[in-house]
Amino acid sequence: MIRLTQAPFEPGALLAEFSRGRRETGAIVSFTGLVRAEGGDSEALELEAYPGFTEAAIERIAMAAKARFSLQDLMVVHRIGRVGPGEPIVFVAAAAVHRRAAFEGADHLMDYLKSRAPFWKKSIGAGGERWIEPRPQDYEDAARWDERAPGSEPAS
């Protein structure tokens, strides 16, 4: 499930909902990202997305991750609009038969969301507003998933 929402969410409730009734799942990995105050420089983040377009882009990478890591299921909930420091901004969960697949699936999804998902982020603080771009490390983290697996054929 992919959901963009302006409403605050409770990560614990999302995890409980996602975990319910999973008799053949061996591992669930979840990640909750929070908005940072940046040492008092940021009073809020404001996220923009194109309705329909952003969800479709995230859905494509989520389905690719599901297949690549043999995930049984996944969940992505991402805030849009204005989000204050300390508030959850993103929740990702991945369910798999084995833990490594769940860890890698969740990690892959977060690297994509951080560096490539079509969101536009603006920091709002006492010094004004500024657009936020992914850091070089965010791109490096995402690029490791672009490398082909050992023993696989190069793409043609």
CA distance 10 to 155: 41
- 109: confidence class by pLDDT, cuts 50, 70, 90: very high
Residue at 57: amino acid letter? A
Per DSSP (E only), the strands in 25-70 are 27-34, 44-48
Q: Is 116 exposed, middle or buried (0-12, 13-18, 19+ CB in 10 A)?
A: middle
The overall average pLDDT reported for the chain is 92
Q: Tell me the domain boundaries of the chain.
A: 2-18+25-132
User: Looking at the whole model, is its pTM more than 0.85?
Assistant: yes
The pLDDT value given to residue 136: 87
* pLDDT-derived band at 58, boundaries 50, 70, 90: very high
pLDDT over threshold 80, residue 105: yes
| pLDDT of 150 above 70 | no
Specify the fold of 2-18+25-132. Answer: Aldehyde Oxidoreductase; domain 3 (3.90.1170)
Distance from the Cα of residue 69 to its chain's centroid: 16
pLDDT, residue 147, reads: 67
* Res 148: pLDDT: 54
